[in-house]
Amino acid sequence: MGPAFTLLLGTGMGAVVVAGLVAGTVPANAEVAAISPFDVGDPAIGRLDPALRSAVQQAAAAAAADGVSITVTSGWRSPEFQQWLLDDAVAAYGSVAAARRFVQTPGQSRHVLGQAADLGGAGADQWLTGNAARFGLCRIYANEPWHFELAAGPAGACPPLLPDASYPEFPA
């Protein structure tokens, strides 16, 4: 076993602070810090697809004008971090099938492609429900009210919600 140390992972869950990392393992009690959608120096924001990043920033600015704070709890993720999330979910839910309801594989994850952002903040859920589509942002999964992708059609309509992440993408 290697030495224990503290690590700050800026790989897509905002700033994930991992204390006591030993031999490349990430403990289940890792703390997730929300980050500003304007912090392009953080890879979670800087590696988002530019159109998605712009839409999230525009929505955050409009929400701020309404007194609502929108933060990013997860944006771009490295394939390695996505695999860790999947492995952790398998351990928590008991099977790959159950875990896939909440976590995509690295090859399927829109986060790895920079095409998804998990959004939060005080009052953000309600504000986004009523306003996200104006910026092209849509909830994708019924069981993940925080997960948004740039998916609104030309008239600002979002596709129907998929039940969870295990379902195939919505039809083109």
Burial class (CB in 10 A: 0-12, 13-18, 19+), 99: buried
DSSP-H helix ranges across the chain: 43-46, 50-65, 79-93, 96-99, 124-131
Alpha carbon distance 56, 42 (integer Å): 15
Per the listing, tokens 């909830």 go with 139
- Tell me how far apart the alpha carbons of residues 44 and 15 are, in angstroms, rounded to a whole number: 9
> Which listed residue (31, 144, 149, 169) is catalytic?
144
CA–CA gap between residue 54 and residue 16 (Å, rounded): 23
Structure tokens at 145: 């009210």
| 169 assigned to active site | no
Name the residues annotated as catalytic: 144
